[in-house]
Amino acid sequence: METSSLAQRLATRFVAGETLDLALAVSRKLNSENITITLDHLGESVSTLEEAAEARDVYLRTLSAIHDSGIRGNVSLKLTQFGLDFSTEQCRANVEQLVKRAAELDSFVRVDMESNEYTDRTIDLVTDLHGRYGAVGIVIQAYLRRSQKDIEKLNALGIRVRLCKGAYLEPHSVAFPEKSEVDRSYVELMKLLLDHGSYPAIATHDEAMIAETKAYAAAKKVPRDAFEFQMLYGIRRDLQRQLIAEGYRLRLYVPFGKAWYPYYMRRLAERPANVFFILRNLFRK
């Protein structure tokens, strides 16, 4: 599959490449289009603590390369990639090294959110490291029923939040099952972030959610440099260009690395709706 023409098309459309150098080249091009980036090294759910340490070292090199290249961007990571399933203490130590380095470089680390079983541990770790170093933010998923309380807590602490809808298959006891409910939650949380958040990131490709954000920001007179939209590399380029032309800030999540195939298979297996999302955008300009 990895060498098939369809898989290669998928990889080149949605992944910057297998190496850091290729990811940096893509990042420079995006910067030239007035788009900032977040590099995401693929390879979640490591099988040993040694692999987690290797992932940490890749991220340390990536953070330094972004800084040394003068690229406008930062990095994002998943805690399972840094060893959370094996040792909370070692995972924290790995992430702390990266956040400390980011603070030294005046950069930033975004900790992605995984399935609901990791939510409390992720928030606790980010809250602790933010108090020590700053330079770290988090992702909150609108489809979780708990997310309003989580955002209120994070806003009060001045922790930057990236708001997304959520991509994992969750039980109805913890997540809204209907799209209309998720959309309603997303809009409510977006307003909460624009009112009280610290440079919120509104991550969506949904034109209705983008329109709601624009309208609310205009009504509340929120400056366009006080928040940013975020999208995935290779998704809705037409919409990306439109946002830039209108003077909004835009950041793309740019994945890279050799583990692109298991990354996509896992995303597709977790939630069937992701299959249709990817296929629609594969043939869309």
Sign, CA dihedral 240-241-245-250, equals: positive
**How many Å from the N-terminal Cα to the C-terminal Cα in the chain?**
24
CA atoms of 52 and 58, how far apart (whole Å): 10
Active-site residue (options: 40, 92, 112, 160): 112
User: Is residue 162 among the annotated active site residues?
Assistant: yes
Integer CA distances (angstroms), 167 to 104, 140, 235, 268, in order: 33, 11, 15, 9
Provide the residue count of the chain: 285
Integer CA distances (angstroms), 69 to 21, 28, 60, 65, 227, in order: 11, 9, 14, 6, 25
- Are 220 and 227 in contact by the 8 Å Cβ rule? The answer is no
CA dihedral 41, 139, 142, 35 (to 10 degrees): -70
User: Is residue 238 among the annotated active site residues?
Assistant: no
Nearest to 27 by CA among 11, 39, 15, 13: 39
Q: Please tell me whether residue 168 adopts helix, strand or coil conformation.
A: coil
- Which residues, in sequence order, are CB contacts of 11 under 8 Å at separation 6+? 260, 261
Active-site residue (options: 56, 92, 160, 162): 162
Instruction: Write b or e for each residue in 154-193: b if 16 or more Cβ atoms lie within 10 A of its Cβ, otherwise e.
Output: bbeeebbbbbbbbbbebeeeebbeeeeebbebbbebbbbb
Cα maximum dimension of the chain: 51
* Residues labelled as active-site residues: 112, 162
